Amino acid sequence: MSTSLMARLGELDLPDRLAPAVPRWATQVAVALLCAAGVEIVRAGVNAIVPGSAAFALVFPAIMVATLFARWQAGLLTATISICYTLFIIYLPAAATRTVVNPHLAVFAVGIAALLTIALAETFRRAVNRATRERDSEIADRDLMLTEFEHRVKNNFAIVAGMLDIQRRRTGDPAAAEALGAAMMRVDSIARAHRHLYRDGQGSEVNVRDYLEDLCGALSDALLLRGGVTLDCDADAATIQRDHAVSIGLVLNELVTNAAKHAFEGRERGSIHVSWKRRDDGWRLTVADDGVGMPPGKKPARRDGGLGQRLIEAFAKQAGGTLSTVSDANGTQVTMDLPD
């Protein structure tokens, strides 16, 4: 029996699992009876193949199972029932017809072996239960620490966003106010990735579909996309590392912001479509609009004087992605391909 299987058996404490619906003593008696009955069923099958095989050999596995599942009391009761049944129904009748070992000496030896089996199984069960309790305590402490850490991180992001918003409201320079507003959205994108990290419970991974849908909803509100210009998101389910998720979210933030600001100049209606799709060799993020497109001869995606494009390229590189842009009179589409 492997160590992992023994550990699982040791963790399964039936008296505790079934209490208080079933009294602990009743569970222990039931387990002992089942194990003792199992010994006789298996013994009957073995005797049908090899008659007269070792009479007491099957008692010990039953004792071990009973002890692991229902504590030493069940093991002791199993040993008593099985040894008595074997002695009076099988061993003594055989002793009357042929020469066998002294029955008293045999029962004494089997009894000692049974007690040793119970002691070893009970020691193992208690050690596993103690290790399980320690593990559960460590997990509870870790969860408490993560909750406190998440709360502190959330507050820190809120403080940074609040400071940026105060500066944005106080500044009289429209360009500075726009830059501070863009910085606020970048901070919000990172904050949302961290919130999804702790909410999803994936350790160091983020549920990308929920994260991107949440981010698109926030961008729609922040960019005041109402009525004429719409933003929709179509994302496949995936979990990826937090750092990559942050970079993907920042790329999405920049691309959607650029499209909202520049793609629909002179137009009242339009749409921006975000997709996150599985490919044979990885994943693809696409941000497409049906706007006016890029002017001929102008380098694609440099709609904000170059800073946005540099940020997009830096975030894409950090995520390990490759960017490509297609733009014409029917709109602009930017894709970022990421390997597995």
Tens digit of pLDDT for each residue in 152-166? 767 777 788 788 888
What mean pLDDT is predicted for residues 238-246?
84
> Has residue 34 got a pLDDT over 50?
yes
Closest CA to 212 of 232, 185, 183: 232
Q: Determine the Cα–Cα distance for residues 340 and 192; give it in Å rounded to an integer.
A: 23
Contact between 178 and 196 (Cβ < 8 Å):
no
195 vs 61, residue with greater confidence: 61
> Where does the pLDDT of residue 199 fall: very low under 50, low under 70, confident under 90, or very high at 90 and above?
low
The pLDDT-based confidence of 1 (bands split at 50, 70, 90) is very low
The reported pLDDT for the residue numbered 97 is 55
pTM of the model: 0.54
Provide the pLDDT for residue 334: 93
With 90 as the cut, is the pLDDT of residue 82 above it?
Answer: no
Quick one: which of 207, 188, 204 has its CA closest to 196?
A: 207
Q: What is the average pLDDT across 257-261? A: 84
Q: In order of start, what are the domains of the chain with their CATH numbers?
A: 3-139 (no CATH), 205-339 (3.30.565.10)
Assigned token pair, 334? 């930017």
Report percent pLDDT > 90 for the chain.
Answer: 15
Higher pLDDT, 95 or 58: 58
Whether pLDDT at 182 is above 70: yes
SS (H, E, C) the chain: CCHHHHHHHHHCCHHHHHCCCCCHHHHHHHHHHHHHHHHHHHHHHHHHHCCCCCCCCCHHHHHHHHHHHHHHHHHHHHHHHHHHHHHHHHHHHHHHHCCCCCHHHHHHHHHHHHHHHHHHHHHHHHHHHHHHHHHHHHHHHHHHHHHHHHHHHHHHHHHHHHHHHHHHHHCCCHHHHHHHHHHHHHHHHHHHHHHHHHHHCCCCEEEHHHHHHHHHHHHHHHCCCCCCEEEEEEECCCEEEHHHHHHHHHHHHHHHHHHHHHCCCCCCCEEEEEEEEEECCEEEEEEEECCCCCCCCCCCCCCCCCHHHHHHHHHHHHHCCEEEEEEECCEEEEEEEEEC
Q: What span, in angstroms and rounded, lies between the C-alpha atoms of 11 and 68?
A: 8
| Mean pLDDT lowest among 14-28, 177-191, 226-240, 270-284 | 177-191
pLDDT bin (cut points 50, 70, 90) of residue 303 is very low
pLDDT of 40 reads: 82
How many Å from the N-terminal Cα to the C-terminal Cα in the chain? 38
Helical residues (DSSP H) of 50-102, grouped into ranges? 59-85, 92-97
Choose the weakest-confidence range: 87-91, 126-130, 161-165.
87-91
What values do phi and psi take at 272, rounded to 5? -120, 130
Count of H-run helices and E-run strands, the chain: 10, 7
Which two structure tokens, joined as six digits, stand for 68? 């692991």
Burial of 228 from C-beta contacts in 10 A (0-12 / 13-18 / 19+):
exposed
Report which of 124, 87, 84 is spatially closest to residue 102, judged by C-alpha positions.
Answer: 87
Residue 286 pLDDT > 90: yes
- Is the pLDDT reported for residue 300 higher than 60? no
Q: What is the pLDDT of residue 4?
A: 53
Check pLDDT > 90 for residue 116. Answer: yes
Give residue for tokens 């970022």.
336
Q: Work out the pLDDT band at 233, boundaries 50, 70, 90.
A: very high
- Across 190-214, average pLDDT: 73
